[in-house]
Amino acid sequence: MQQLGDQAAIAIQQAQLYEQTCDAETEARTQAAQLEHTLHELQETQARLIHTEKMSGLGQLVAGVAHEINNPVNFIYGNLCHATDYTEQLLEILRLYQFHYPYPHSEISAAIKAIDFEFLLEDLPKIMASMQVGTDRIRSIVLSLRNFSRLDEAENKRVDLHEGIENTLLILQHRLKANSEFPGIQVIKDYGDIPRVECYAGQMNQVFMNILSNAIDALAMGSGEWGIGTRETRKQGDKGDNPCLMPTIHISTKISADNSRLLIRICDNGPGMTEEVKKRIFDPFYTTKPVGKGTGLGLAISYQIIVEKHAGIMECISEPGKGTEFWIEIPVKPPAKIN
């Protein structure tokens, strides 16, 4: 009986030690999971702070550059109309001289022949008109840069999101153009009749920039697939407006049936993504781009802006060989409080 009692006591003690060991292991695992979760949150917070600081710095730089360009451009723009009028007046006087004095001095006749006077009369107004178009273009780019930075709109404000999309496309225009190795990207816009939306305008512009930049990168990666088909269709007289034969980005907007939510779709006909990649595209620091080409923060920040800042929905639809579509849905008027 004594031996049985001793063995029972030992068994009970071992059971208690085993239970304590299991409890300690469970507690250690819980603490490890909490630490991992905390570390992940810290990494996300750090990434957001870094990205926010970079975007703030970029916005200040863009606004500063736009301001510095705006002053001399306005000077040129304001004087071009007067220069055009003066040129027309001088040309009119020259025409009158030609009419009333059809036989000028031989030295004048030689100078007129040397400078090809008739061509000058025809080409000078065209030059002035092209300069006017150029300054108009620069002014529109400067305005787009200033609107894109939106430094004065840190709070919710009712804005036209079509303007934000257009400003972003204008900034990315140089990446949409054709070159010797790439046929260019066709942008198809299907804008609906949407109201002004109460949102963080600058942050929404960041979302458009991130998605459109990724779409351009994806289409450029498949540049070898576009060249032959596009050249062939051009030989046959096609103007290159077939989305199936040309790299294309399609942007559409519409209001929901109950007029409470705005729907934005941005699609491309690029190479698409596998299911494994698609599951991770909103994870911070995840990127499929080469080293130095992407930080893996763009879509993660975009997701946070849409879901957390605007109480919206952001989804990605993609399959290999079938392109990629980003679906954004935000309320026209945000809830009473958005964290």
For the segment 251-299, what is each residue's pLDDT rounded down to a tens digit? 999 999 888 899 999 999 988 888 888 888 877 666 766 655 665 677 8
pLDDT at 63: 65
| Residue 241 or 92, more confident | 92
Q: Where are the domains of the chain?
A: 156-339
Q: Name the CA dihedral angle for 299, 302, 308, 312, rounded to a multiple of 10 degrees.
A: -100
Strands (E), the chain: 157-159, 186-190, 197-199, 248-255, 261-268, 313-318, 324-331
Q: Residue 11 and residue 19: Cα distance in Å, rounded?
A: 12
Q: Which of 117, 164, 100 is nearest to 305 (CA)?
A: 164
Q: Are 121 and 88 in contact (CB under 8 A)?
A: no
Q: Residue 6 and residue 98: Cα distance in Å, rounded?
A: 132
If pLDDT is split at 50, 70 and 90, which confidence band does 78 have? confident
If pLDDT is split at 50, 70 and 90, which confidence band does 221 have? confident
Helices (H), 150-241: 161-171, 173-176, 201-221, 223-235
Q: Which one-letter DSSP state was computed for residue 306? A: I
Q: Residue 322 and residue 301: Cα distance in Å, rounded?
A: 25
Assign domain 156-339 to its CATH architecture. 2-Layer Sandwich (3.30)
For the segment 98-143, what is each residue's pLDDT rounded down to a tens digit? 888 888 888 888 888 888 888 888 888 889 888 888 888 787 777 6
- 0.85 exceeded by the pTM? no
Q: Residue 325 and residue 187: Cα distance in Å, rounded?
A: 14
Average pLDDT (302-306) is: 86
Q: Which of 156, 165, 171 is nearest to 65 (CA)?
A: 171
